């Protein structure tokens, strides 16, 4: 059986509803309490003040008839019940004799009254057979309790008053709840709508529609989530396009040499090439193009291996200047032929931790490019140490790279000259591979160029610190 799990909408709605309900009930209870307390205190204070004013008439000695009559008269005009008691029995005067009689004043109350303190009490009073709130004022002649003034209000009167208040509260509370539910529902819908949009968009992305976007412009968390989602889907889209482009590039790069190989081999087979020279020429073209393909496939393999995390460098300490010199030695002949001068300025003390073959590959890639685009002038190689690392810069006086292409020069298959043929070109992967290798060594590759003046490629690598 599938477990029921409520949607976010339901959850939020439930939370809002619950908090509204709790708020209403709680505030009702609180205000009822305060109202009663305030009202009761008010009545109590009024009774006390009333009693104290009446008690002012008493001037000591036995209670006079005048006071009794006055209080009786007052009682007839007044809302609360007021009466005077002077019967010592009612005042618990016979207490130690345990007379079997329910006195109006309890023994401990008598003590309090004897101390001149008024008594306030609330609750059921057997004498009146109802719930009352009472105030008792002592009439003391020195330390003789000559009598008391007893004032009380039935509690029913107070609860009647609070009844009106309660009805008002019920109506207000109900109205408040209806409005709150309505607003709450709208709010919840507004809150969860972008989430629904995002779910739909995510579904579209997972089905391959990378152009899916959500259109939410709020600045809150949901808005941030939406913009993060949009960013993600656009990244996926770009990556997808790059992948497609790459595949197209690869097939394109492979198709040219393949068509050479196919064409010339068919020519050879069908006997179009009659002369021995022609045959040899065809064969050499086939050999050249297969070598290109081999190189291309080799580079692709390298790149994919480098990009996969499994690639392991075999790092050993290398004297960098020596390595640079050795790997550029072979270009001497070509450069002499071209009339390009090669100059060195190498700091021989620099030792780096690196994979010899790979570093050599990087130098060769850069040198290949430099040589390819430099017709006259020279190439200068500088190796310098700086704090924490070293920089190898290879500067040529070649054609240079236009500014708009500089950022993409290390992309795979990126060519500055789109129309350039494969004849003088490499695989288009050299710089991409170089950059990857340098990055894996913990370094960086920087390319600066002025169109028409030359290019400077700078490799920055960490060095091995020599212990003094």
**What are the residues binding other proteins (CB under 8 A)?**
62, 87-90, 93-94, 96-101, 111, 114, 142-145
Closest CB to other proteins among residues 60, 348: 60
Closest CB to other proteins among residues 4, 97: 97
Closest CB to other proteins among residues 67, 367: 67
Minimum distance from residue 118 beta carbon to other proteins (Å)? 17
Closest CB to other proteins among residues 85, 297: 85
Minimum distance from residue 42 beta carbon to other proteins (Å)? 33
Q: Cα dist. 426→111, 268, 324, 464 in Å?
A: 115, 27, 21, 33
- Residues with Cβ within 8 Å of 91's Cβ and at least 6 positions away in sequence, in order, are 85, 103, 104, 105, 110, 113, 145, 147, 148
Closest CB to other proteins among residues 147, 354: 147
Closest CB to other proteins among residues 109, 396: 109
CA distance 46 to 399: 105
**Could you tell me if 191 and 222 are in contact, meaning their C-beta atoms sit under 8 angstroms apart?**
yes
Closest CB to other proteins among residues 138, 194: 138
Nearest to 112 by CA among 132, 94, 133, 137: 137
Q: What angle do CA 323, 329, 334 make, to 5 degrees?
A: 145
For CA atoms 399, 400, 404, 406, the dihedral sign is: positive
CA distance 115 to 118: 9
CA distance 292 to 421: 13
Torsion of CA 154, 159, 162, 167, to 10 degrees: -140
Six token digits for residue 174: 């109900």
Minimum distance from residue 96 beta carbon to other proteins (Å)? 6
CA distance 318 to 355: 8
Closest CB to other proteins among residues 93, 353: 93
Minimum distance from residue 55 beta carbon to other proteins (Å)? 18
3-state SS, residue 57: coil
- Residues with Cβ within 8 Å of 92's Cβ and at least 6 positions away in sequence, in order, are 103, 105, 106, 107, 109, 110
Minimum distance from residue 144 beta carbon to other proteins (Å)? 4
Closest CB to other proteins among residues 99, 175: 99
Minimum distance from residue 142 beta carbon to other proteins (Å)? 7
Helices 430-440 and 356-373: crossing angle in degrees, nearest 10, is 140
- Residues with Cβ within 8 Å of 24's Cβ and at least 6 positions away in sequence, in order, are 173, 176, 177
**Could you tell me if 323 and 360 are in contact, meaning their C-beta atoms sit under 8 angstroms apart?**
yes
Q: Which long-range contacts (CB under 8 A, 24 or more apart) does 86-93 make?
A: 86/62, 86/139, 86/146, 86/147, 86/148, 91/145, 91/147, 91/148, 93/145
Minimum distance from residue 112 beta carbon to other proteins (Å)? 12
Closest CB to other proteins among residues 113, 188: 113
Minimum distance from residue 140 beta carbon to other proteins (Å)? 9
Closest CB to other proteins among residues 107, 317: 107
Minimum distance from residue 92 beta carbon to other proteins (Å)? 10
Minimum distance from residue 146 beta carbon to other proteins (Å)? 9
Minimum distance from residue 79 beta carbon to other proteins (Å)? 27
Q: What angle do CA 434, 435, 436 make, to 5 degrees?
A: 90
Minimum distance from residue 89 beta carbon to other proteins (Å)? 6
Task: Count Cα neighbours of 91 within 13 Å in the Cβ-side half-sphere.
Answer: 23
**Could you tell me if 416 and 398 are in contact, meaning their C-beta atoms sit under 8 angstroms apart?**
no
Closest CB to other proteins among residues 140, 371: 140
């Amino acid at each position: 059986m599938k477990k029921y799990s409520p949607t976010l909408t339901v959850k939020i709605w439930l939370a809002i509803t619950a908090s509204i309900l709790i708020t209403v009930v709680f505030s009702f209870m609180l205000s009822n309490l305060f109202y009663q307390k305030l009202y009761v205190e008010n009545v109590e204070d009024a009774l006390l003040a009333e009693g104290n004013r009446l008690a002012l008439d008493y001037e000591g000695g036995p209670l006079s008839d005048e006071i009794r009559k006055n209080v009786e008269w007052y009682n007839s005009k007044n809302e609360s019940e007021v009466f005077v008691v002077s019967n010592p029995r009612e005042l618990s005067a016979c207490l130690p004799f345990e007379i079997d009689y329910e006195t109006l004043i309890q023994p401990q109350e008598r003590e309090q009254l004897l101390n001149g303190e008024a008594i306030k009490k609330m609750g059921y009073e057997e004498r009146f057979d109802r719930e009352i709130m009472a105030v008792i004022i002592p009439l003391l002649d020195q330390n003789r309790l000559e009598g008391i003034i007893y004032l009380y209000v039935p509690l029913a009167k107070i609860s009647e008053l609070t009844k009106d208040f309660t009805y008002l509260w019920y109506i207000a509370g109900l109205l408040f709840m209806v409005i709150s539910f309505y607003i709450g529902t709208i709010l919840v819908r507004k809150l969860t709508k972008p989430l629904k949009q995002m779910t739909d968009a995510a579904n579209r992305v997972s089905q391959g529609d990378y152009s899916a976007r959500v259109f939410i412009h709020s600045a809150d968390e949901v808005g941030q989530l939406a913009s993060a989602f949009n960013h993600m889907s656009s990244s996926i889209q770009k990556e997808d396009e790059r992948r497609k482009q790459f595949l197209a590039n690869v097939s394109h790069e492979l198709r040219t040499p393949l068509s050479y190989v196919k064409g010339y081999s068919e020519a050879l087979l069908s006997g179009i090439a009659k002369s021995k020279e022609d045959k040899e020429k065809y064969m050499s073209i086939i050999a050249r193009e297969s070598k290109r393909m081999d190189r291309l496939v080799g580079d692709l393999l390298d790149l994919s291996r480098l990009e996969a995390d499994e690639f392991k460098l075999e790092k050993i300490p290398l004297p960098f200047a020596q390595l640079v010199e050795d790997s550029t030695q072979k270009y001497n002949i070509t450069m002499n032929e071209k009339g390009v001068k090669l100059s060195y300025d190498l700091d021989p003390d620099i030792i780096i931790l690196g994979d010899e073959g790979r570093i050599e590959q990087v130098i060769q890639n850069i040198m290949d490019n430099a040589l390819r685009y430099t017709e006259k002038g020279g190439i200068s190689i500088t190796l310098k140490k700086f704090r924490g690392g070293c920089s190898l810069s290879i500067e040529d006086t070649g054609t240079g790279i236009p500014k708009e292409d500089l950022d993409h020069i290390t992309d795979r298959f990126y060519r500055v000259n789109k129309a350039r043929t494969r004849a003088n070109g490499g695989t288009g992967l050299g710089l991409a591979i170089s950059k990857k290798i340098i990055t894996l060594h913990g370094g960086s590759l920087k390319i600066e160029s002025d169109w028409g003046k030359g290019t400077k490629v700078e490799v920055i690598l960490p060095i091995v610190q020599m212990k003094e």
